[in-house]
Amino acid sequence: MSEGAAISWFADIGLADRLAVGGKGGSLGELTRAGIAVPPGFVVRTEAFEAFVRALDAEKPLRAPIEALDPADLSAVAACTRMVRARIMECAMSTEVRAAILSAHARLCGAERDVPVAVRSSATTEDAEDASFAGLQDTYLWVLGGEEVLRLVRSCWASLYSVESVCYRRTHGLAEAGVAMAVVVQRMVDARTAGVMFTRSPTTGDRSVVTIEGAWGLGSAVVSGEVTPDRWVVAKITGEITVRDVSDKHVRHLPKTGGGVEDTPVPDELRTAPCLSDAELLVLKDVALRAERHYRRPQDIEWAIDRKDGSVLLLQSRPETVWSARDAKPVAAPAANPLSHVMNIFGGRR
């Protein structure tokens, strides 16, 4: 398999390539194309996964035994998936795919050595966004070295064969042949501050505000809920910061020597200090609006601020689902006589 078939750079892909690069990969490609800064990276396409699994299947059937499993028989599922995952972790990868990943990783690092990267699974189906697949969306942070990247790409592939994932597919009768996984490899941001933001208020559904939540260090502390983030509400049109809730941020995730991240206590003087300046909030708001305009629907975004140069980078942007799924009743309808709207006030409660 050529590098072109196994690997795609963000700039060359978009949401339309979801089946080959997964939702996360497609979204990062889309943002890159929209001119929104994301940490550079590439996707190990589903073709690489499929070639790998096909080879394993040829050696000794892998998918057929899974398809035969009864989801109610948990011990059988556990035993079978354990073996499948072990094969994925241990069996040889084709030299072409291996070389393609290593060379892309080397290109990503450029002249620098030991550039930390993130390795993130990127599922191909809408269902994969579903909570039933929790645990499947593996993300490995601060990964150092090509060999480690290779190992974690396998881990992402193997996560498709977790007990939960397999039970879900068997319960829903999904064909194993249709299951695939892409993997995103991208430069890691050494985040001074990171978090999430929503271009529609998560609490009220208001489309006129961006809600921004952030904490010190890498965004994983916020996403995992280990820290109560600071929270702001910024009006889209006026840029007014209408809510400022600064919380006590006792812990932050920082890179660990030798790879990975670790919980670190936040120095006292930073704990109750706001982790973003007003100027940064406004930059984040503008970036959020660009993403929303690009996708033409409200977004749920992960972001980070680079410790070195203070630049804002997006790590993910996906459609907001909670409010969009609700029936929106129109707030008011036009009236034949525009004056009759005043009855809303003068006509009493109805």
Partner 1 sequence: MAETPKRFPLPSSVPIAEGTEAAQTAYPYYMQFGPEDDERFWFYNSMHFPEPMTVFDMITAEAAYCALGASNTRVHSLPTTLGIDYRIVNGRVYIGGNGVTDPAEIARRTEEFQKRAYYYYANWERLYDQWKEKMLALIQDAQALPPLTLPEFEPLAHVHAGRGVASNHFLLDTYQKTLEGYFRMWHHHFEFLLLGYGAYLVFFDFCKKAFPEITDQTIARMVAGFDAEIFRPDEEVKRLARRAVELGIDGKFQNGTAPDDVLASLQQMGDAGQEWLRELEASRHPWFNVNVGDGFYHYHRSWNDDLSLPFSALPGYIERIRAGDSIERPVERLVAERQALIDGYRDLLATDEEREAYDQMITLACRVFPYVEGHKFYCEHWYTNLFFNKIREFGALLSEHGLLDGAEDVFHLSHYELETAIIDLMTSWSNGSPPRGTKRFRVLVAERKEAIEVWAGMETPPALGPVPDIIDDPSIVMLWGITRENLDSWLSAGEADPNEIRGFAASSGVVEGTARVVKTVQEIDRLQSGDILVCRITNPTWAPIFQKIAAAVSDIGGSMSHAAIVAREYGLPAVVGTGDATVRIRDGQRVRVDGSRGIVTILGKVAA
CB within 8 Å of 197: residues ≥ 6 apart: 210, 211, 212, 213, 284, 288, 301, 303
Measured CA to CA, the distance from residue 77 to residue 169 in angstroms comes to 12
Quick one: which of 92, 237, 279, 325 contacts partner 1 (CB under 8 A)?
237
For residue 297, the minimal CB distance to partner 1 (Å) is 11
Is 238 among the residues that bind partner 1 (CB under 8 A)? yes
For residue 255, the minimal CB distance to partner 1 (Å) is 34
Is 78 among the residues that bind partner 1 (CB under 8 A)? no
Measured CA to CA, the distance from residue 287 to residue 139 in angstroms comes to 24
Contact segment (CB under 8 A) with partner 1 among 28-36, 233-241, 299-307, 312-320 equals 233-241
Query: Binding to partner 1 (CB under 8 A): which residues in 244-263?
Result: 244
DSSP track, 91-149: SPPPHHHHHHHHHHHHHHHTTSSS--EEEEEEE-SGGGGSGGGTT-S-EEEEE-SHHHH
Specify whether the CB–CB gap between 32 and 17 falls below 8 A: no
Is 273 among the residues that bind partner 1 (CB under 8 A)? no
Residue at 196: amino acid letter: V
Quick one: which of 101, 152, 233, 314 contacts partner 1 (CB under 8 A)?
233
Contact segment (CB under 8 A) with partner 1 among 42-50, 114-122, 262-270, 329-337 equals 329-337
For residue 20, the minimal CB distance to partner 1 (Å) is 34
For residue 187, the minimal CB distance to partner 1 (Å) is 35
Contact string 121-140 vs partner 1 (x = CB under 8 A): --------------------
Quick one: which of 225, 258, 265, 347 contacts partner 1 (CB under 8 A)?
347
Name the residue nearer to partner 1 (CB basis): 258 or 330: 330
Contact segment (CB under 8 A) with partner 1 among 91-99, 158-166, 221-229, 238-246 equals 238-246
Residue at 112: amino acid letter: E
User: Count of residues for the chain?
Assistant: 350
Measured CA to CA, the distance from residue 89 to residue 245 in angstroms comes to 45
Quick one: which of 201, 299, 316, 317 contacts partner 1 (CB under 8 A)?
201
Is 243 among the residues that bind partner 1 (CB under 8 A)? yes
Is 241 among the residues that bind partner 1 (CB under 8 A)? yes
For residue 51, the minimal CB distance to partner 1 (Å) is 46
Measured CA to CA, the distance from residue 229 to residue 343 in angstroms comes to 44
- The DSSP call for residue 177 is G
Please report how many Cα atoms fall inside a 13 Å half-sphere around the Cα of residue 330, on the Cβ side: 3
For residue 117, the minimal CB distance to partner 1 (Å) is 38
Specify whether the CB–CB gap between 39 and 188 falls below 8 A: yes
Which two tokens mark 166?
């397999």
Contact segment (CB under 8 A) with partner 1 among 12-20, 74-82, 107-115, 242-250 equals 242-250
CB within 8 Å of 271: residues ≥ 6 apart: 248, 249, 250
# residues contacting partner 1 (CB under 8 A): 36
Specify whether the CB–CB gap between 135 and 164 falls below 8 A: yes
Measured CA to CA, the distance from residue 37 to residue 107 in angstroms comes to 19
Is 328 among the residues that bind partner 1 (CB under 8 A)? yes
Residues that bind partner 1 (CB under 8 A): 201, 204-209, 233, 235-238, 240-244, 328, 330-335, 337-339, 341-349
